[in-house]
Structure formats: structure tokens, C-alpha cells
Amino acid sequence: MLFEFSFYSSILLIFFVHGLVYAILLWRKSIINDTVSDKWLGIFLFLCILYISPWMLGFAGWYDTQPYRDILFYVTFQHLFFIGPVIFFYVQSLLNPSFKFGKKEWLHLTPGILYCLYTLVIVVTDKLILHKYYFLDDGADREFDTWYQLAGYISMMSYFIACIRYYNLYKKLLVQVVSYADTVLFKWIRNFLFVFLIFLVVRFIFFILSFSFTMRYWDVWWYFLSFSILFYYIAITGYANSIKTKVPFKADLFNAKPALLLYYATAYNDFEEAEVIEMEDNTEENADNDFLKEWKPKILQAVVGEKLYEKPELSLTDLARQLGTNASVLSKVVNKGFAMNFNDFINYYRVQAVTEKLKAGEQKTQTLLGIAYDSGFNSKATFNRAFKKAIGVNPKEWLQQQAS
């Protein structure tokens, strides 16, 4: 197989090979651990290495030699309409255990499938019917047509916005239904989306430069090098990510006042619809005082009296089962009756438990972090953040104040 090694082709080849290896490793990890998100990330990396292939192979001499030239001309390497949907599926599968690829998801892939059919028409017309260049009579690769590159960019930007929207809804849901939100807010997703945003910004810059100046083939190579570095970071960090969410839900991305349908897990990978959890805190509405007076003491008795806050993975549904009601009712009571979301509410009483133990001198026999864990916290960062939010200072400063 022809491959002329040069500075330009060799560097992209390194990223190509490493990207392919990580894609295979992610697919293997997906099979072993039954993690759908790893499968989608592997597909994304495969699309990335295809994306840089024309420039890598071009500098390796393929555009100057037959039949390699026709391979580059007639095979679509840059599947721009697939990249956006794939990152959207990845984000959903990582954040939502109830995500399944169904008929509606196929609709997202329709533009990419139609473009593949369009390229198939080109191949059949030129190679099988006319036996000459017809669609490619100008000697240009069709996948670099301006309309396709711009449409693909708009597609990726649209799905990036959808991913941001989905992630924000996820964060709003978590603080309403679990007491350990900080540990599963997925900083990796934030970093992943930030890196993808950098790619979109760099692509936009090169769009502007290409319209303003005549860019040579090796000038554009620097864009593909920067893209390779970005997807290589995603490959390494994404493969190392091992956090799994446990809160299945259904989100409406287009609702101005979003509400999420919380699911109950009934069996392995099987979920039953539960109640709607409102994402907007409608504090302007008059709360039913009798309703709050009835439920606030019950909640306090369960959380404080029975020390449910000591359960590290306490959720709103756990508390609802304990009290014989549903999560939607408790969410409204906590938000309106205590003026806090569920995560802050539980962590507040965990902090109170820590301060009581510190006042009793338990720090003399065990570490501060050990006391925090005994009180229901499951990470040092969450403990420090919750303590400062509830008390106003960090734990060490509070201890110094108590000693003075």
C-alpha cells in the first residue's frame, strides 16, 4: 500500500493509529462492562480518525497516484452529519441509564445516511455508468464542497447546544433527587464539551481564514493537527472515565420551563415511569401551608430523627418510600418548605452532625474526614463545599474559631 512518510503524513499517522487503538479498546470495554457510553465514544473516535484521513493520506501521496486518488474521491471520510448525533448519544448514554437507541434516534442519523446515498450515486454514475469523471470533472473532492462543510458545521454546533442543554437539565435534576450530586456531576462531561467547543471555535477560525485568504494545502494541515490533539485528549480521558450515573430520567429539551420524568429501576436495564419532578422553583406561588405543616415534621423525623442523612447514597425516592409517598410531593415540600434543593437539604444536616461530633471532641480519636464519612459524606471535596455553604467557613477555619 502506498504511504509516503513525511513530516505532515507521519504526525497525523501517529494520531490515526492511536485513535484507532483507543476506539477498539472502548468497544472492548463496552462489551466487557456492558457500558453503552463507551461504545458511542468509540464510534466518535472512529469518526475522528476518518476525519483526518484525507489530509494524512493526501500528504502520503494518495491524491497524486491512482487508484488511491479515486479512493479519496469516491469514499466519504468526513462524516460531518454523523459526528453531532454521536456526541449527543454519548452524552445521553453517559448521564442517563435509561437511554436506549430507538426509532427516534435513527432520525438524527438521517442526514448522514442521505449524504452517504448521495456519494453512492456519484460512484455509480461515474464508475459504473459513464466510466468517466462526471460529478468530479473539476478534479475536486466532493466532501470538501463549501455547502457540505458549512452544513456539517451547523449540524455539529446544533448538537453541541443540545448536549449543553441536556447536561444542564441533568445537573438540575441531580440536586433535586440525590444527596450525593457533587460526586456524579460529571466534570468529564464538562471537559468533553469544552474540548468539543474548542474544536468548533478553531473550525470557525479556519472557515474565516479560508474565505479571507488563499490557504495552501499545508496551511490547512495545522487545523487537522489541532483537531488530532483535541480528539487524542478525549480518547485518553474518556477511556479513563469510570463514573456511572444511577438516576434514570426523561428530558424535554424544548420546554421553556423544563420538567423531567423520573424513572424507577425495576429490573436490570428496565425502567418504569415515575412522577414528574419540576425543575423550576415556583416560589412565587402560594404554598399550601397545611400541606407543608403536615409533611415537614415527617421529613425531619425521617432525615434527622432516624438519621437517614448518614446513608451516603440517599435519594429522594428512598425517602419517598420511607414515608409512603412519592418523590414529586417531597421535592415540592423540600423546595418550598425548607427553601433548599434535596442535595443541599441533606448535606445541611450532615454538616450539623459533623459540627456536633466536633463539639463533642471526636476529632481527638479520628480524622476530620472520617467524621465526615460517618455523617454521610462520600468525598472530601463534597464535604468541604457543603460545610462552607452551610456554615460560611471551611472546616479547619471553624475548628480554629471554636478553639479561640
C-alpha cell at 263: 424513572
The one-character DSSP state at 287 is P
Q: What is the pTM of this model?
A: 0.87
pLDDT, tens digit (0-9, with 9 covering 90-100), for 209-224? 888 887 788 889 999 9
End-to-end CA distance of the chain: 77
pLDDT grade for 387, boundaries at 50, 70 and 90: very high
Among 5-14, 39-48, 195-204, 329-338, the least confident range? 329-338
In degrees and rounded to multiples of 5, residue 319 shows phi and psi of -65, -35
| pLDDT tens digits, 327-343 | 888 888 898 889 999 99
What mean pLDDT do residues 229-255 have?
84
Burial class of 117 by CB neighbour count within 10 A (0 to 12, 13 to 18, 19+): exposed
The pairing of strands 270-278 and 249-250 is unpaired
CA–CA distance, 348 with 335 (Å, rounded to integer): 14
The residue to which cell 475548628 is assigned: 399
Does 283-403 match 7-250 at the fold level? no
CATH topology of domain 283-403: Arc Repressor Mutant, subunit A (1.10.10)
43-92 pLDDT tens trace: 999 999 999 999 999 999 999 999 999 999 999 999 999 999 999 999 99
Spatial CB neighbours of 384, under 8 Å, sequence gap ≥ 6: 394, 395
Q: Where are the domains of the chain?
A: 7-250, 283-403
Q: Would you state the pLDDT for residue 230?
A: 96
In this prediction, residue 276 has a pLDDT band, given cuts at 50, 70 and 90, of: low
What is the distance between the alpha carbons of residues 244 and 236, in angstroms, rounded to a whole number? 18
- Return the C-alpha torsion angle 222, 228, 230, 236, nearest 10: -150
Mean pLDDT of the chain: 88
Length of the chain measured in residues: 404
- pLDDT tier, 261 (very low <50, low <70, confident <90, very high otherwise): low
What is the CATH code of the structural domain delimited by 7-250?
1.20.1070
